[in-house]
Amino acid sequence: METTTDTAARRRPGPLVLIRAIGSAATWRALAHLVTGAVIGFTGGFTLLCLGLVAVLGAPTVIVPIAACAVIIAFSGALTALQRSRHGAFLYLRLPQGRSEATFTLNPRTLIDLFGNRKTWYRLAYHFIAACYGLTAAFAALAAWVLGAVLIPAPLYWADPEPGVDPLLLSGVGLVLVLAAPWVTRGLADLDARMARRLLGISRSEELELRITDLAASRDSTVDAADAERRRIERDLHDGVQQRITALAMNLGIARETLADVSEPGARALEQAHEEAKQALADLRDLVRGLHPAVLEDRGLDAALSAVAARSPVPVRVAVDMDRRVDGDVEAVAYFVVSEALTNVARHAGAARAAVEVALRGETLHVTVTDDGAGGADPGGGTGLRGLADRVRSVDGTFELTSPAGGPTTIEVELPCASS
């Protein structure tokens, strides 16, 4: 069994740990980060300083400082992108840009807004700090490596040292410098990364906003892919299976009419097979229609809901008030909400009548389905209401069910939408 002393000894930095640190790729990436930072930081900071002096000295002309400020903003943006790329390449540090930076256009109004934005001053502060820190950090890291490598073999090339100078002592100092160089290099690079994260990064709220945007885009692509898959299944069923079952039902019907000498059991079996084929065909047509009805895509939500109401065994009043078509995903969700709700009314509510109201108000589609049934609808009762709520939420809509015991039952849905 490993004792506490053994564990401490294993964790204590030893020669192997130091050798690994020297040969680590992370150490040399950090050194490359500091060296490139010195070049980029000094060049960028010096350029920004010169542009700032031009703006100050040209103040009496008005035009010169405006042009210089525009160049400062544009150059600072390019330099920020370069610094972010450097941190990502060598330190694997991700510094995403804000939405305003991604959609930046240089004009007098945005120029004033940008100079009034503290982020602009954060970026400029980093570039001026990097001009000094970059040189200092790169010099310190290179000095540790180079001076250490030069001093280690001091006893070999310093055969006649000056009084008071001990070559062995110099060699020991060089060894300490080389062993400390990886930690110095990484520490300086880490400090630079901390400053960059604070001054070149984005706030937590902006990061969450970008994350929400990415998730919304991912969700939309998932919904589009699912809709495309439903359309493919509908097409395959309509053009393949449905045609085969139709042919089968027709052949069985012809057989019933033409085969007069079949025994009574055979005739009953043939009749039963014919009826089952017709029922299967009807079920398949309902399934295909439920996946994505062609009338919804061709003629819109009004016609599609009228068709659903016409097939319902419960009398349904439909009122659609829309002055334009909306996005296809929103239309599909509205259609399936009404279709599933009317199916539940026919199967579970015991209602004598139902009503469907659809109205487009601004950028929101309001859908209401009511019935005069027994009420008591429960989303957890396996009637598909929970699935409807999930589907509504997939397009950022709201789903509300009111169904007291004794009725009536009302489903209210609001779907955000835009012009198609």
**Of all residues in the chain, what percent carry a pLDDT higher than 90?**
23
According to the model, what pLDDT value does residue 4 have?
42
3-state helix, strand, coil in the chain (%, to 5): 70, 10, 20
pLDDT tens by residue, 137-167: 999 999 999 998 888 888 887 766 666 677 7
Distance set, CA 289 to CA 190, 283, 308, 349, 363 (Å): 61, 10, 10, 23, 28
Helix (H) or strand (E) holding 155: helix 154-157
* Average pLDDT rounded to a whole number, residues 231-243: 65
What residues form DSSP beta bridges with 413? 367, 399
- Higher-pLDDT residue of 298, 294: 298
According to the model, what pLDDT value does residue 233 have?
65
* Average pLDDT rounded to a whole number, residues 332-357: 86
Total residue length of the chain: 420
pLDDT at 6 over 50: no
d(CA 265, CA 260): 13
pTM value? 0.52
According to the model, what pLDDT value does residue 304 have?
85
pLDDT at 396 over 70: yes
* Average pLDDT rounded to a whole number, residues 217-232: 62
According to the model, what pLDDT value does residue 100 have?
54
d(CA 261, CA 263): 6
pLDDT at 117 over 70: yes
pLDDT tens by residue, 249-283: 777 777 777 776 767 777 777 778 877 777 776 66
According to the model, what pLDDT value does residue 227 have?
62
Alpha helices in 261-381 (DSSP H): 264-291, 294-299, 301-311, 328-344
d(CA 420, CA 416): 13
- Higher-pLDDT residue of 113, 170: 170
According to the model, what pLDDT value does residue 30 have?
93
Confidence of residue 48 (pLDDT cuts 50, 70, 90): very high
pLDDT at 101 over 90: no
Q: DSSP character for 98? A: P
